[in-house]
Amino acid sequence: MGISMIGVLSGDIVASRDISDKRALRRAIDLGIDRLGQSLGAVGMRFRGDAFQVAIPEATESVTAAVIMRASLIEHSPSRQQMWDARIAIGIGEGSVPTLDNFIDADGETFVRSGQGLDALSESHQRLGLFLATPQPDLDLLMLFADDVISHWSHNAAEVVRFNLTTEHSQSELARRLGRSQPTINRRLSAARWSLIREFLEFTRFRLEGLT
């Protein structure tokens, strides 16, 4: 595969030391990575039990990938009292997506940028950040707003967003899939601020197309 613009997500679980069921947490991380592979052709792996890195072949889909990953973790949280979430640093730059066998040795500039971004997030309260070769203040501000919305999602809100981002279901199909009424699905989408998140993702995709 030739050199192109890719995205790299570097993430770790928030307050992982307080999570007792490490096996269930690891399964949730692995499921999120699998979903990114199925929906976006991503390749990634989990490290040290509570950290992960994922390469996204289409750089413009990197923010969507990060939202899917966070939604997937929140969706599988064990209870309202213990919500699982992750800090995710999105690096964008030149590179190629490695095979899974070679992933652990990936060390291109985009992987480094994403890893350094995660270090920066770990020193703040922010859980979602975009790290480009040339900073874009407007995108950074939008990331802060989206991060605040996502950080307040319930299990149910995260579930409907994740379904919307990884499947082609209509709202009526989604209601049937989840065994809920369509008004219930609408309420959950409203609680997730889905219309705003969708516009945020469309705008970031457009802006990243112009940068890459």
| Domain 4-211, CATH | 3.30.70.270
pLDDT band at 79 (very low <50, low <70, confident <90, very high): confident
Report yes or no: 134 and 142 within 8 Å, Cβ to Cβ: no
- What confidence tens digit (pLDDT) does each residue in 167-195 have? 988 888 989 988 999 999 999 999 999 99
Residues whose CB falls within 8 Å of the CB of residue 109, separated by 6 or more in sequence, listed in order: 93, 94, 95
143/87 Cα distance (integer angstroms): 12
Query: pLDDT tier at 1 (50, 70, 90 boundaries)?
Result: very low
pLDDT mean across residues, the chain:
92
Mean pLDDT of 145-158: 96
Percent of the chain at pLDDT exceeding 90: 76
Distance of CA 75 to the CA centre of its chain: 12
- The domain ranges of the chain are 4-211
Q: Do 89 and 9 touch, CB atoms closer than 8 A?
A: yes
According to DSSP, residue 89 is labeled: E
- CA distances to 10, 32, 116, 123 from 77, in Å: 20, 12, 27, 24
Q: What angle do CA 46, 101, 7 make, to 5 degrees?
A: 60
Please count the other Cβ atoms lying within 10 Å of the Cβ belonging to residue 36.
26
Predicted confidence band of residue 49 (pLDDT cuts 50, 70, 90)? confident
